[in-house]
């Protein structure tokens, strides 16, 4: 038995562990209650995908890693679900790629912003952006438009796991290279992404880190080849087919 009171041999161990982390995130004031609903939606798609990284998602993770390598300024956006599910993995990705970490909430409250920033620092983050809140995403009303001007505001590459569709579209309209992790290939976030990664964030983030390390010494031409060989619509279609057919290879 570990973090959750279920034996590791349980066939749905990972899924139960994930639920437990989200629940703990709500109790700690990191994750919003809506985060529980989002988790349930994600879980349903993950179940249909066989709770594993399908080959097209692995390819997308490699393309995301190539974008991180070529970025002038990359930012990993963290919301309440991501902070609860994989804080250490986010810090490792930022370390491996030189990206900044920015807390960016759909349901923004000052208290939750602070708690998430503290939680990330406890997991090794040196700098956490998002608290200055001196920039805005054009075309969005309300607090969810708030960003740091020298973070997501000026970044050319942004990784947005579990993003709300409106904001994903608005970020794409700002001309940013948007890397989206979302288990639903039909979501507007996935559809508006330059690189949609249809995978669970708990698998996708360490996978991008691994690819980034593997591509560390790759020349620019090789990184461009990785990016140019990728078609987001094909990746989304392949994920949808995997869900419909149950053919996971």
Among 81, 191, 192, 207, binds ligand PTJ (CB under 6 A): 81
**183 part of the interface to ligand PTJ, by CB under 6 A:** yes
Judge contact between 30 and 18, C-beta under 8 A: no
Residue 32 lies near ligand PTJ (rule: CB under 6 A): yes
User: Cα(93)–Cα(86) distance, rounded to whole angstroms?
Assistant: 11
Q: CB neighbours of 65 closer than 8 A, spacing ≥ 6? A: 97, 208, 209, 211, 212, 214, 215
Residue pair 94/73 in contact (Cβ under 8 Å)? The answer is no
Alpha-carbon 166 to chain mean position: 16
**Where do the H-state alpha helices sit in the chain?**
13-27, 33-48, 55-70, 80-85, 87-97, 110-122, 165-173, 188-192, 201-214, 220-228, 232-245
Q: In this chain, which stretch among 36-44, 51-59, 121-129, 221-229 interacts with ligand PTJ, using CB under 6 A?
A: 36-44
Is 82 annotated to bind ligand? no
Of residues 107 and 218, the one with the C-beta less far from ligand PTJ? 107
Listed ranges 8-16, 100-108, 123-131, 212-220: which one lies at the site for ligand PTJ (CB under 6 A): 100-108
**Per-residue binding letters, 151-170, with ligand PTJ (x by CB under 6 A):** -----------x-x------
Q: Among residues 40 and 237, whose Cβ is nearest to ligand PTJ?
A: 40
Is 38 a binding residue for ligand PTJ by CB under 6 A? The answer is: yes
Among 137, 24, 34, 163, which Cα is nearest to 87's?
24
Can residue 178 be called a binding residue for ligand PTJ (CB under 6 A)? no
Residues of this chain that bind ligand PTJ (CB under 6 A): 32, 34-35, 38-39, 41-42, 45, 79-81, 85, 105-107, 162, 164, 181-184, 187, 200-201
- Annotated binding residues for ATP, written as ranges, equal 19, 41, 182-184, 188-189, 200-201
């Amino acid at each position: 038995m570990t973090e959750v009171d279920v034996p590791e041999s349980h066939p749905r161990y990972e899924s139960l562990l994930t639920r437990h982390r989200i629940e703990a995130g709500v109790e700690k004031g990191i994750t919003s209650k809506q985060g529980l609903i989002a988790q349930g939606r994600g879980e349903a798609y993950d179940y249909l995908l066989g709770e594993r990284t399908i080959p097209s998602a692995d390819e997308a993770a490699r393309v995301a890693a190539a974008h991180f390598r070529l970025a002038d300024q990359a930012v990993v956006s963290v919301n309440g679900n991501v902070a609860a599910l994989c804080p250490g993995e986010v810090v490792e990705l930022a370390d491996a790629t030189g990206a900044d970490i920015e807390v960016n909430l759909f349901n923004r409250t000052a208290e939750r912003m602070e708690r998430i920033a503290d939680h990330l620092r406890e997991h090794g983050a040196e700098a956490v952006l998002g608290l200055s809140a001196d920039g805005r995403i054009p075309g969005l009303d309300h607090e969810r438009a708030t960003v740091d001007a020298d973070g997501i505001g000026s970044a050319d590459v942004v990784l947005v796991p579990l993003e709300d569709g409106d904001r994903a579209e608005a970020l794409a309209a700002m001309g940013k290279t948007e890397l989206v992790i979302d288990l639903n290939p039909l979501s507007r976030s996935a559809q508006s992404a330059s690189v949609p990664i249809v995978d669970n964030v708990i698998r996708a983030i360490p996978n991008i880190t691994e690819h980034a390390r593997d591509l560390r010494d790759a020349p620019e031409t090789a990184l461009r080849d990785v990016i140019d060989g990728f078609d987001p619509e094909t990746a989304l279609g392949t994920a949808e087919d995997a869900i419909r057919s149950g053919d996971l290879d």
